[in-house]
């Protein structure tokens, strides 16, 4: 990873950790992803953007396998997803063969614009809802 991309990753993740995620996580309309911490075994909640498509939910991770929630999914892919205030259980699948840029065009514009602008390693994720 280049120095610029490392700096971008560090700046964005620091902002998300201390400002963006705590604020967004309190909004009742915010979609939340709950994974199990790969080291702690504790629930980890991350505000995300994406779209439900039938019994699946699609999202794009802006930092790919460097994202903590992606690393958690790779260890334990059982997740919970809060959509419109209701929690659903599901199984998450990282989909590296999916065209993440094309996928972003199908997802809500506001989140997709931010992911596209700030992301350094886009990666699609499909959550199959139970």
How many angstroms separate the CA atoms of 70 and 32, rounded?
Answer: 14
How many angstroms separate the CA atoms of 68 and 26, rounded?
Answer: 20
How many angstroms separate the CA atoms of 51 and 81, rounded?
Answer: 12
Q: State how many domains the chain has.
A: 1
Q: What is the pTM of this model?
A: 0.83
For 57-105, write each residue's pLDDT tens digit: 999 999 999 999 999 999 999 999 999 999 999 999 999 999 999 999 9
Give the CA-trace dihedral at 91, 94, 97, 101, to 10 degrees.
110
Q: What's 78's domain CATH number?
A: 2.30.110.10
pLDDT exceeds cutoff 80 at 116: yes
For 20-47, write each residue's pLDDT tens digit: 666 565 666 789 999 999 999 999 999 9
Residue 122 domain boundaries: 3-129
């Amino acid at each position: 990873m280049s120095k610029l991309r490392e700096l971008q990753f560090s700046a964005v993740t620091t902002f998300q950790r201390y400002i963006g995620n705590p604020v967004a996580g309190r909004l009742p309309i915010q979609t939340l992803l709950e994974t199990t911490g790969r080291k702690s075994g504790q629930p980890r909640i991350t505000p995300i953007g994406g779209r439900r498509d039938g019994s699946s939910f699609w999202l794009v991770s802006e930092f790919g396998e460097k994202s903590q929630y992606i690393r958690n999914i790779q260890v334990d892919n059982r997740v919970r997803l809060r959509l419109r205030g209701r929690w659903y259980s599901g199984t998450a699948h990282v989909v590296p063969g999916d065209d993440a840029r094309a996928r972003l065009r199908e997802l809500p514009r506001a989140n997709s614009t931010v992911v596209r602008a700030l992301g350094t390693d886009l990666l699609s994720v499909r959550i199959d809802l139970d």
